[in-house]
């Protein structure tokens, strides 16, 4: 197994750093999947316990000047590593003024991802920072749990408003209730609602637009103005919103009923060529007196949906 890669461009480095910070905010441990064309950050099987699970994909040629990898074997040309996400995030943050950043898989008493940063210095001297991040190689038999989630049918798919706005709204709502009700329809309306004994607060977002493909799957006879509603744990949702450091050009939320609905967002950095995408899966809950429009079964497996992302504008 071999892996070595190099980043030279400051904007790419910045973006990569922000993606890793986002991952670090969501979970302590994450899986890094290295394949010939892609790099993936995977947070899996968190949904069963509530929380956020995530699949993030980066096209390696958009970030790295050099990228060489050799997987476990020729047929299974991938490397799956488990590491503490904060370590990678912290290592990358020291590369603020870096001339080059190199990452490679090494073995220094134990398997490590070595991040080697050459810093720009005022004088001509070079300064080199090296971080050895301990990793655990995930055996092939566990790979099947870490695959890209499939796109199931969804009921509603909607573009989210600016995440920062949503975050400030939800931030204030968390003091009133533990559950957030997200309602969306195919007319581009989104509501964020909380209910308590004394008060019910709703924030309405209109004219958000719906991604075109979503409407094909769902039943045609559904009234576009019909609101589909899901309940999520407000803190987990906030955790997901707080982790967003990459400004998405489009973030999409899809909900599914009758089984456990799950919202999902797909951030993308608009200023980089090509696309990177990330999908998030949030567990939702069925409240005892939740007025869900369709019958909900207490099913264990929440379906997931991802959404393709369009190309952002070219990097100047």
Structure-token match 């799956």, residue found: 80
Q: Which residues inside 62-91 make contact with other proteins, applying CB under 8 A?
A: 84, 87, 90-91
When asked if residue 137 is in the footprint of other proteins (CB under 8 A), the reply is no
Task: Count residues near other proteins (CB under 8 A).
Answer: 19
- CB distance 61 to 274 below 8 Å: yes
Stretch that binds other proteins, among 63-71, 130-138, 237-245, 289-297 (CB under 8 A): 130-138
Angle CA 190–196–201, to nearest 5: 35
When asked if residue 125 is in the footprint of other proteins (CB under 8 A), the reply is yes
When asked if residue 127 is in the footprint of other proteins (CB under 8 A), the reply is yes
Instruction: Rank residues 81 and 166 by Cβ distance to other proteins and give the closer one.
Output: 81
Q: Round to the nearest angstrom and report the end-to-end CA distance of the chain.
A: 36
DSSP state of 224: T
Query: What does each C-alpha distance from 142 to 55, 146, 201, 304, 309 come to in angstroms?
Result: 16, 7, 44, 20, 28
Instruction: Rank residues 121 and 297 by Cβ distance to other proteins and give the closer one.
Output: 121
Q: Name the minimum Å distance from CB 42 to other proteins.
A: 19
When asked if residue 54 is in the footprint of other proteins (CB under 8 A), the reply is no
Query: What does each C-alpha distance from 301 to 54, 108, 114, 284 come to in angstroms?
Result: 15, 40, 37, 11
- CB distance 246 to 269 below 8 Å: yes
Q: Which of 74, 75, 107, 123 is the binder for other proteins (CB under 8 A)? A: 123
Instruction: Rank residues 84 and 177 by Cβ distance to other proteins and give the closer one.
Output: 84
Cα separation, 270 vs 106, in Å, equals: 33
Instruction: Rank residues 17 and 87 by Cβ distance to other proteins and give the closer one.
Output: 87
Q: Name the minimum Å distance from CB 252 to other proteins.
A: 35
Residue ranges that bind other proteins, judged by CB under 8 A: 84, 87, 90-91, 94, 110, 121, 123-134
């Amino acid at each position: 197994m071999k892996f070595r890669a190099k980043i030279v461009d400051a904007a790419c480095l910045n973006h990569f750093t922000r993606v890793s910070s986002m991952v670090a905010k969501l979970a302590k441990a994450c899986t890094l999947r290295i394949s010939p064309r892609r790099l993936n950050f995977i947070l899996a099987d968190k949904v069963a316990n509530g929380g956020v699970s995530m699949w993030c994909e980066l096209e390696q040629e958009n970030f790295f000047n050099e990228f060489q990898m050799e997987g476990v074997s020729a047929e299974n040309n991938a490397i799956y590593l488990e590491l503490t996400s904060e370590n990678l995030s912290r290592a990358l943050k020291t590369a603020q003024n870096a001339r080059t950043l190199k990452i490679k898989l090494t073995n220094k008493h134990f398997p490590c991802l070595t991040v080697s940063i050459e810093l720009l210095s005022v004088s001509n001297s070079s300064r080199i920072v090296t971080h050895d991040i301990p990793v655990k190689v995930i055996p092939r038999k566990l790979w099947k749990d870490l695959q890209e989630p499939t796109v199931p049918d969804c009921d509603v798919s909607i573009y989210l408003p600016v995440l920062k706005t949503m975050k400030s709204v939800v931030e204030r709502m968390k003091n009133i209730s533990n559950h957030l009700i997200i309602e969306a329809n195919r007319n581009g309306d989104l509501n964020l609602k909380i209910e308590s004994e004394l008060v019910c607060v709703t924030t309405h977002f209109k004219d958000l637009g719906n991604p075109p493909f979503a409407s094909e799957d769902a039943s045609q006879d559904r009234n576009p103005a019909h609101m589909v509603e899901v309940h999520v744990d407000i803190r987990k949702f906030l955790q997901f919103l707080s982790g967003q450091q990459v400004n998405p050009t489009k973030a999409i939320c899809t909900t599914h009923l009758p089984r456990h609905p799950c919202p999902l967002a797909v951030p993308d950095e608009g200023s980089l060529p090509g696309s990177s995408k990330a999908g998030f899966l949030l567990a939702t809950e069925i409240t005892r007196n939740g007025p869900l429009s369709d019958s909900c079964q207490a099913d264990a497996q929440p379906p997931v949906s991802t959404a393709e992302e369009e190309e952002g504008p070219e990097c100047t």
